[in-house]
Amino acid sequence: MPDLRDTIRCHVIGNLPAGTRKRWRVDFVDALELGGTCDPPGLRDRTIRVLRSSTGKVELTTTVHETLHAAIWCLDEPAVKRLADRIGDALYDFSVRRSNTRANRSEVYFLAWTINNVLSVELDDFSLRAVKELALDLARLLGRCGWQRTTVADYVLPLPQLPVLSIKRAVDEYAARRWPIVPAHTRARTGLCSCNDPHCPTPGFHTRVPLNNATCDRRRLGAWWRKWPTANPWLVLGGAAGLICIEARGPEAAELFGAWQSVYRSKASPFSATWNGSTNVYLYSTNETHDFRGDIELEGDIHLLSTGCGTALPPSALSSDVGPRLTWQLDGLPDDRRERPPTLPDWLAAKAQTIITQDPGAASVAAPCSQYEGTH
Ligand SMILES: [Zn+2]
Ligand SMILES: [Zn+2]
């Protein structure tokens, strides 16, 4: 049976950051001093060479590595190496191996999705669109070489923890959507809060500046995150932006909330984030219709958070370097930044209204939203 890799004659790959596209031939060769090489973009017959005798993860990583050189020539060797290694690790964790048949479309999509997750974190300075194109080009090349998952029932297996949006990119994204945010504290691996109070009651869960300093101004945000690069982005609810949050704390509450949604036939919203089994669903509510404030417990650890409260946004981490991160539940936020979260549905508004009417003191603006606000 002929080697599938011999059929790869030429492949188009994205060229960042110029936005031009150039072609490189991809050759699997028998003799090569290094595992792989990539000709510079200035050469007329540009070729990527990968040593044919390399196998497994080395072959995968080398193919990705050399293609990344071609695609982003300006990137230095350590950066390319780190990126290629991360992509190789992620794909290998998902049981991706090389076979001698081309990957089908859904497998190529899966490869692209995984690669895109890694690239969009690391390539902060490139547009998400350019990164997505590059991920797709890389995935198509790997698919042609026969790389695909060997485990079919992947969706029932626990998925490896993939990297998410970088904090810098996420903060830019929220600013572009006019979501007012402030930087919050982070919790170290040791459990110590960055406020340095050993008795901090909510480590990593209070803001570094008062909530009323929230802004969408990029210069101000840039200054904050240069000062505290690992700060979790914290959304300030209510006010002019009109965002409120339904927070289902813990898997049981999330399940109950899911049941409500199916009863009321609410669609899954792209504006919902999860971590550790808890779910945050963002909704839009204008003051003319409802004027909720504070933290209202709707039922069984499902809360409606509004004016006076804030919530952590993806990619906030429970702890600065390990453990789960908050992620957008679907494939990230909608591409169109003008798109707003769905309007607070009447049935939910009615539920909250009933609770406040029965017990006017039900809404509190205590933990976790504004407690400790600005005191550290
Ligand atoms: Zn290299
Ligand atoms: Zn603290």
Mean pLDDT of 172-193: 90
- CA of 199 from ligand 2 middle (Å) equals 8
**What are the tens digits of pLDDT across the range 273-330?**
888 788 999 999 876 667 788 899 988 899 999 988 999 998 888 766 556 788 887 6
Per-residue confidence band for 19, with pLDDT thresholds at 50, 70 and 90: low
The pTM assigned to this predicted structure is 0.65
CA atoms of 287 and 227, how far apart (whole Å): 35
CA atoms of 112 and 12, how far apart (whole Å): 15
pLDDT at site 275:
82
Mean pLDDT of 13-21: 67
- pLDDT surpassing 50 at residue 188: yes
pLDDT at site 156:
39
- CA of 65 from ligand 1 middle (Å) equals 6
Mean pLDDT of 69-86: 92
- CA of 338 from ligand 2 middle (Å) equals 34
Cα–Cα nearest to 117, from 100, 144, 98, 136: 136
Contact 81, 58 (CB under 8 A): no
Direct distance between the N- and C-terminal alpha carbons of the chain, in angstroms, rounded to an integer: 68
SS3 80: helix
pLDDT at site 372:
37
Which ligand neighbours the alpha carbon of 35 most closely? 1
Phi-psi region of 75 (alpha: psi -120 to 50; beta: other; left: phi over 0): beta
For residues 256-283, one letter each, b for 16 or more C-beta atoms within 10 angstroms of the residue's C-beta and e for the rest, the string is bbeebbeeeebeeebbbbbbeebbbbbb
- pLDDT surpassing 50 at residue 375: no
CA atoms of 369 and 376, how far apart (whole Å): 15
- CA of 347 from ligand 2 middle (Å) equals 36
pLDDT at site 154:
45
- CA of 44 from ligand 1 middle (Å) equals 20
**What are the tens digits of pLDDT across the range 113-170?**
889 888 888 887 787 778 888 899 999 999 999 999 987 554 434 444 455 678 888 9
- CA of 185 from ligand 2 middle (Å) equals 7
DSSP state, residue 344: P
* C-alpha torsion angle, residues 129, 131, 134, 138 (rounded to 10): -130
- CA of 62 from ligand 1 middle (Å) equals 8
pLDDT at site 158:
42
Which residue's entry shows tokens 């003051």?
Answer: 287
Which ligand neighbours the alpha carbon of 66 most closely? 1
